[in-house]
């Protein structure tokens, strides 16, 4: 706990500051009593000795002991070892009333350092009918140790001071409200495996934004548990592409609620075939049957979309149009031929346009020549083209000329007029 956590604070200093702040916020909460048990703070650890009995109930439970707890927190120092199992067993006996809802919040930056197994102690407590609900908060711990705490209770990791403040407040909210929520973003098989998307929860009546979350799967691959005010009804916006809405959601008090949203997703990746260099072209993505732009996607980037059909306008010259079927957890590739270049040099300014010759013989406009430039270059898709132009200073339509040229991927076709 004496390791540096911020530029000016150790873990123990930051924990003491935020814990005292949390206790201060709890003062005045009806039907709530708190106590403070500390371990590893009395006997210094040496190279040859660690005191595994170094655990003490510093402030017993009481109806109005918040000031005592805050005062004692200030003087705590991290000196000794980490006897989690013995502290957990002792803490179970600290509760004066076995019929109340008894909760332990265990804060540690290390795993069990003595000879007892916290899992064994947790089982013994359960077998004895001791009804305690431990919440474990790990401060900057090696994530490989997390499974060591599975048997004790709900575990939350806090790798930074800000994360610890959020986790501590969240745990306290769970304890006080006893009302929890998880949001299942279901895939095509109705499994809650979609995640990593922003969610907005609005008050259904006022339309005020109440909560903003980035959806997360916990260490066990399940949707993370949230705390929501059960007194409100909510409109949920899940910011997939396109977004998903679920309106008029009610939260039942004193139980664990599950909100189910169908949000199966896959990927679209637009890429050039045989490109000699990384050409940068964007694509406009629309739902099939709609002209509304959902996203402007870059080349060689896999972007996520709800399962379904989409129309892509790839902003090549000329434009390329593709229909894509997005499937669950699969990348749908859109392959576009690599472009080539058309360059021109002029003796005189011209009014001119470039057309592509389609397979059916039709000529389709591609672009206009800059009427104020005597040279230029265009990035064009492979194919046969026609340049139609007239010298600007000659005022006769009969002086219109045309030049055919062909574009090949990664190569340049040039015309001098």
Per CATH, 265-337 and 340-416 having the same topology is answered: yes
- Quote the pLDDT of residue 128: 65
Distance CA 279, CA 336 (A): 11
Quote the DSSP letter at residue 226: B
Which CATH number is associated with domain 265-337? 2.60.40.1120
Query: Which tens digit of pLDDT belongs to each residue from 97-150?
Result: 877 778 888 888 877 788 767 777 777 777 766 666 677 777 766 555 556 666
Specify whether the CB–CB gap between 407 and 337 falls below 8 A: no
- Quote the pLDDT of residue 25: 87
Instruction: Evaluate if residue 7 carries a pLDDT over 70.
Output: no
Q: What is the CA radius of gyration of the chain?
A: 33
Average pLDDT of the residues in 24-39: 89
| Superfamily designation of domain 180-262 | Carboxypeptidase-like, regulatory domain (2.60.40.1120)
| Superfamily designation of domain 340-416 | Carboxypeptidase-like, regulatory domain (2.60.40.1120)
Q: Distance from CA of residue 59 to its chain's centroid?
A: 40
Distance CA 307, CA 188 (A): 8
**pLDDT > 70: what percent of the chain?**
95
Q: Which residue shows structure tokens 């010298």? A: 391
- Quote the pLDDT of residue 85: 84
Kindly provide the b/e burial profile for residues 50-72, where b requires at least 16 CB atoms within 10 angstroms of the residue's own CB.
bbbebbeeebebeeebbebbbee
Length of the chain: 417
Instruction: Evaluate if residue 308 carries a pLDDT over 70.
Output: yes
Query: Domain extents for the chain?
Result: 11-177, 180-262, 265-337, 340-416
**Burial of 195 by CB count in 10 Å (0-12 exposed, 13-18 middle, 19+ buried)?**
middle
pTM of the model: 0.70
> What phi and psi values does residue 192 have, to the nearest 5 degrees?
-80, 65
Query: Which tens digit of pLDDT belongs to each residue from 324-354?
Result: 999 999 999 999 999 999 999 999 999 999 9
Q: Which residue shows structure tokens 């339509």? A: 397
Query: Which tens digit of pLDDT belongs to each residue from 36-69?
Result: 999 988 888 888 888 889 999 999 998 889 999 9
Tokens linked to 312: 């892509």
Query: Which tens digit of pLDDT belongs to each residue from 226-274?
Result: 988 888 999 999 999 999 999 999 999 878 899 999 999 999 999 998 8
Distance CA 401, CA 344 (A): 15
CATH class entry, domain 11-177: alpha beta
pLDDT interval class at 381 (50, 70, 90):
very high
- In 3D space, the residue among 269, 268, 261 whose CA is nearest the CA of residue 287 turns out to be 268
- Quote the pLDDT of residue 89: 84
């Amino acid at each position: 706990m004496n390791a540096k956590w911020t530029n000016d604070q150790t873990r123990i200093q930051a924990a003491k500051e935020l814990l005292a702040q949390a206790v201060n916020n709890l003062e005045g909460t009806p039907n709530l009593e708190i106590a403070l048990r500390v371990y590893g703070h009395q006997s210094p650890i040496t190279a040859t000795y660690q005191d595994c009995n170094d655990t003490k109930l510093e402030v017993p439970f009481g109806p109005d002991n918040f000031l005592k707890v805050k005062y004692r927190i200030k003087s705590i120092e991290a000196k000794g070892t980490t006897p989690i199992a013995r502290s957990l067993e002792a803490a179970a006996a600290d509760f004066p009333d076995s019929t109340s809802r008894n909760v332990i919040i265990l804060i540690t930056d290390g795993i069990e350092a003595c000879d007892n197994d916290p899992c064994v102690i947790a089982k013994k407590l359960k077998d004895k009918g001791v009804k305690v609900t431990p919440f474990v908060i790990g401060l900057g711990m090696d994530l490989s140790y997390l499974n060591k705490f599975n048997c004790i209770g709900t575990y939350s990791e806090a790798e930074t001071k800000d994360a610890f403040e959020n986790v501590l407040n969240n745990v306290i909210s769970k304890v006080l409200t006893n009302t929890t929520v998880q949001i299942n973003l279901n895939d095509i098989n109705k499994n809650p495996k979609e995640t990593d998307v922003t969610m907005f929860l609005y008050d259904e009546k006022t339309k005020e934004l109440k909560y903003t979350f980035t959806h997360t799967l916990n260490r066990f691959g399940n949707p993370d548990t949230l705390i929501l005010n059960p007194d409100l009804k909510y409109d949920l916006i899940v910011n997939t592409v396109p977004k998903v809405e679920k309106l008029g959601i009610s939260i039942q008090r004193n139980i664990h609620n599950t909100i189910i949203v169908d949000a199966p997703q896959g990927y679209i990746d637009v890429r050039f075939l045989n490109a000699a260099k990384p050409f940068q072209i964007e694509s406009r993505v629309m739902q099939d049957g709609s002209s509304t732009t959902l996203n402007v996607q870059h080349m060689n980037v896999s972007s996520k979309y709800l399962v379904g059909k989409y129309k892509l306008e790839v902003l090549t010259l000329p434009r390329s149009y593709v229909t894509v079927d997005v499937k669950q957890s699969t990348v749908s590739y859109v392959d576009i031929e690599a472009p080539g270049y058309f360059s021109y040099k002029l003796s005189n300014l011209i009014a001119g346009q470039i057309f592509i010759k389609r397979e059916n013989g039709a000529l389709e406009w591609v672009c206009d020549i800059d009427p104020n430039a005597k040279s230029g270059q265009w990035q064009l898709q492979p194919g046969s083209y026609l340049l139609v132009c007239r010298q600007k200073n000659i005022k006769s339509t009969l002086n219109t000329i045309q030049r055919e040229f062909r574009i090949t991927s990664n190569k340049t076709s040039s015309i001098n007029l």
